[in-house]
Amino acid sequence: MNFLSISFTHKNTDIDIREKLSFSSNEKKEEVLRLILSNQSISECMLLSTCNRVEVMAFVNDLEISQSYILKVMSITSGVALNELENRADIYYASGALHHLFLVASSLDSLVIGETQIVGQLKDALKFAIDGKYADLNLKRAVDYSFKCAAEVRNKTEISKNPVSVSSVAVSKAKEIFKSLEGITAVVVGAGKMSELACKHLLSSGAKIILVNRSKERALNLINELNADIKYEPFSNLKDVINSHQLIFSATASPKIVIDDTFIEECEFDRYFFDIAVPRDIEITESLNLKVYSVDDLQEIVKLNLAMREEQAQIAFAIVGRYTNEFFKWLQTLATTPIIKALRLNAKKIAENEIQKAIEKGYLKHSDQEEARKLIHQVFKAYLHKPTINLKNLESDDACAVDLILDIFDIKDEFEKYTSQYSDINLLAKGNTDEI
């Protein structure tokens, strides 16, 4: 069994394809995860779908079969041609899959390096998969370890200081256009996390805000949380609002276009629409005085952001590399500790049986059994010393060797028993393999 990651991001897939792959509703996520798990080669999977990436992380017993099957499921459920997905996907195996996961969690693979939303999105994706019984201990261990890695990256580097998000990049671009947003009225469509971030950055730039949302209650809750003088307009007034102001940000969770050409009226002033949603909210025809910026159009600001953080990013990449190695060493210990314990306890059980037989047959006096027990203990300890060292030094991908040992010594039950006890690294550290 091993880890597999299939990744579609802003780096390999344009927004037209990404929005088709975006599984925004829980029903769609469940459908995809259920279909993926119907393949016997796949034992666990989870799905991460954000505005800049769609990722499937899986635990599988056949990498080639699983990779091919997952891409077919994604093609069927998204309507994107299979060969298109095969040509675009970044696919990672084993340690590569974990290294990629740790990069993602640490915000080193994000459109905006150092953004802070990704950890929460990963937590939500894992919880959704576990609650639905699509993921179990293996993916939980991997994702939990990625959070430890991300925490060290945040603590040991400046990469997340003054955090940047797609929303903040969009506001920065607006400031570049208007020179200053002081006193400018911005329309924000939607009341989710992206809209909240956009509002925060607009407020800090001195802009006035009109918030448009289908749910008045949710909009008012956001206004209360921001504790700011923000005007609410119902969604039914959207057309009037966007034709009366120069600056519009849209970040709804709608799977369909929210603003199309039927909403647009001729205006004498210049207008700038920032579509920071995936799937996109806006599909309108640009003109001399109407410009639309999508997520992918903000790349130049992102590149500048990356250049400014490059030195810190190098430190962060080194941390990710170290955590990847440590995670596989931990997994290796999780596998070998139960084997070692099972071998030693079996040896102890055999020794006890032989001592009792020797006493019953008169080969050994009752008074000598403790000395005999100590001698046998030392013999087995010496005999198993080298195998114990070799087991601890197994390469992390030596799953075949582990399976072979379990079969030869018939200790699968003991192995599973001890593995369940050592699901946490702190418990594992307390494990003692020198019990006999």
> Where is the binding site for NADP(+), in residues?
190-195
d(CA 106, CA 308): 17
**Catalytic option among 51, 199, 267, 400:** 51
Active-site annotation holds for 149: no
- Please tell me what DSSP assigns to residue 262: G
Q: Rounded to an integer, what distance in angstroms lies between the CA atom of residue 229 and that of residue 209?
A: 8
266 contacts 284 by C-beta, under 8 angstroms: no
Closest of 89, 112, 90, 111 to residue 99, by C-alpha: 90
118 vs 103: CA distance, rounded Å: 11
Q: Are 83 and 17 in contact (CB under 8 A)?
A: no
Instruction: Supply the DSSP string of 197-221, one letter for each residue.
Output: HHHHHHHHTT-EEEEEES-HHHHHH
- Which parts are annotated binding residues for substrate? 50-53, 110, 115-117, 121
Across 42-112, the runs of DSSP E, i.e. the strands, are 42-49, 53-60, 90-93
Give residue for tokens 């400046």: 158
Beta strands in 169-270 (DSSP E): 185-189, 208-213, 231-234, 247-250, 259-260
**Per-position b or e across 279-288, b if 16+ CB within 10 A of its CB:** bbbbebeeee
Of 182, 198, 181, residue with least CA distance to 190 = 198
Active site positions, annotated: 51
